[in-house]
A and B are shown apart, each in its own frame.
Chain A
């Protein structure tokens, strides 16, 4: 069975016309697969490489450069919750928030809760510093967090 559904393949192929090289579709393809499958498996890498006329090692090389993409041994949970640790947030309690979250969920940054619902990550500046400390749910910012608000958010995400 192939790792990529026909639909996913079609989505990836729809990006080809945007660029003068097939290789440029690497990042869009990785995002499409990662979003849907919560990781990019070895098999998916091979199939992306096939679609883009690349060696799997080329796709893997780019993919591993960005620590963003998960491999199949550590897939993401249902949502990815990022806590910013850079300067503006750190000055307003960002690191304490990250610690609180990790303790509450009993995971380390990079880990996923046992129920598979939440993956916790630290982030470098999210570009939301006017709302520091800031967190991000997948790709949506949440401003002016504190432990109470974070607890509420976690309860919401665990539902």
Chain B
């Protein structure tokens, strides 16, 4: 296969200037001009729908279809909430897009707003992305000066304001309704759905929530057409009538024990093995991989034997993982204890559970405490059973919690107990202690 030509990273890999003049010289805002002069909002929605584009934020919902859930002929206002909270551990592709090519993202925001008839777009940006904040703000200022934002954009009667809204270090504000609550100035507690945001979202108005990478893809779908996206990636599984396919390029993040951690753009469907060997420079120090988390820590754990699994919307599920997630792969080598990996993951979720649902608040806390005990050499064999039970009982899927954080917290635990049971039992029987030192973190 010839090397894939990056599209989302095209300007970034060339180290092109992120600012407006350079972006326009490279064909930027051509899609916007086309849409404003020759397409109706409904046509833009159709184009995105026909492209098969699915959300890159983790859930993989078809983007154009989501837009059609907005009420018809609504008097407005309608809001676009841009999810730039990117807090799933091991994920950093949105950051690269915002820092290095902010206009590509902003053009997608303009196009999505036109399609959905949104008059205001809020970019909910995690606080930790200071450079993204400054670059996006500068790019937004450029757009206002060039009449590409504000009133009567390019003289075509389209109005849009875009505002940056900085978060304050809470993972849960990436969940779309947690995001909306946080935007409204409240604590970031996810809402019970329905109503879905498309019907009642920000400020009780119809709202679309889309991820940064999704919106960057929209720019190219409109510029190059639906067929372009469909020419990349994996067609729907003929045996599965509900599969919407895995079309388009994807920004994969590779980190952990590889020689060259990086973000790389490839057609959806690449395997973990190819990612590691061809793009991540192989496992570090000449070691072998033990396993990986395939799409952020919420998607569970893959063993090295499962590395040929394609990372498309269906692949990870075939080996018991939760899904593609953010397509952020973190490798751990064969010197690493699965106990340390699980401990780290459980600590994250215990820290980040918003506390609203008792099964999630208590369950993530118990799992963390049990893993802490295990890594200090005081685990009991029956802990594995309890861990498994807790992991299986918290989440939207078992119907006990409001949002998917709890599903993501349970999944790596379930996977580890199935896939690494031998190692866990051996650890407990021998009363092994973690060599990995994080006593400081425990003081908090």
- Partner-B contacts on A (CB < 8 A): 18-21, 23-28, 30-31, 52, 61-62, 65-69, 82, 85-88, 90-92, 95-96, 98-99, 102, 108-110, 122-132, 136, 138-141
Contacts and interface: CB of A to CB of B under 8 A. Distances in A.
B90 A125 contact: yes
A86 B344 contact: yes
Contact of A87 (B168, B188, B345, B354): B345
Contacts, number: 173
A82 B328 CA distance: 22
Contacts of A91: 256-257, 330, 332, 336
B253 A130 contact: yes
11 contacts: A18-B161, A21-B184, A28-B166, A86-B344, A99-B438, A109-B440, A127-B95, A136-B128, A139-B128, A141-B130, A141-B131
Nearest to A61: B187
**Most A C-beta atoms less than 10 A away, residue of B163, B168, B330, B351:** B168
A30 B328 CA distance: 32
Contacts of A108: 440, 443-444
B159 to A, nearest CB: 15
B437 interface: yes
B307 interface: no
B212 to A, nearest CB: 11
Interface string B152-196: 000000000101011111110000000000111111100000000
Contacts of A138: 130
Nearest to A94: B438
B126 A109 contact: no
A95 B436 contact: yes
Interface residues of B, number: 65
A18 B441 contact: no
A124 B171 contact: yes
Given A108-B443, A130-B253, A95 B438 contact: yes
B86 interface: yes
A72 B354 CA distance: 24
B80 to A, nearest CB: 14
Contacts of B436: 90, 95
B131 A129 contact: no
Nearest to B260: A130
B47 interface: no
Given A68-B127, A99-B437, A127-B87, A88 B256 contact: yes
A90 B185 contact: no
B86 A65 contact: no
B90 A88 contact: yes
A109 B126 CA distance: 21
Contacts of B328: 129
Contact of B263 (A86, A96, A130): A130
Contacts of B439: 99
Contacts of B94: 127
Given A99-B439, A99-B440, A127 B126 contact: yes
Interface of B: 77, 86-92, 94-95, 126-131, 133, 161, 163, 165-171, 182-188, 203, 253-257, 261-263, 293, 297, 328, 330, 332, 336, 340-341, 344-345, 347-348, 351-352, 354, 436-441, 443-444
Given A26-B185, A88-B330, A127-B87, 17 more contacts: A23-B186, A27-B168, A68-B168, A87-B256, A87-B344, A90-B438, A91-B332, A95-B438, A95-B440, A98-B440, A99-B440, A110-B444, A122-B441, A127-B128, A129-B92, A132-B261, A139-B127
Contacts of B185: 21, 23-27, 52, 62
A125 B95 CA distance: 13
Nearest to A22: B185
A98 B77 CA distance: 47
Contact of A66 (B169, B183, B297): B169
Given A88-B90, A88-B261, A139 B130 contact: yes
A102 B437 CA distance: 13
Contacts of A18: 161, 163
Contacts of B91: 125, 127, 129
Contacts of A24: 183-185, 203
B163 to A, nearest CB: 5
Nearest to B354: A65
Nearest to B330: A88
Contacts of B263: 130
B351 A124 contact: yes
A105 B203 CA distance: 45
A111 to B, nearest CB: 10
B87 A124 contact: yes
B209 to A, nearest CB: 16
Contacts of A23: 184-186
A62 B187 contact: yes
Nearest to B345: A87
Residue among A28, A31, A88, A98 with the most chain B CB within 10 A?
A: A88
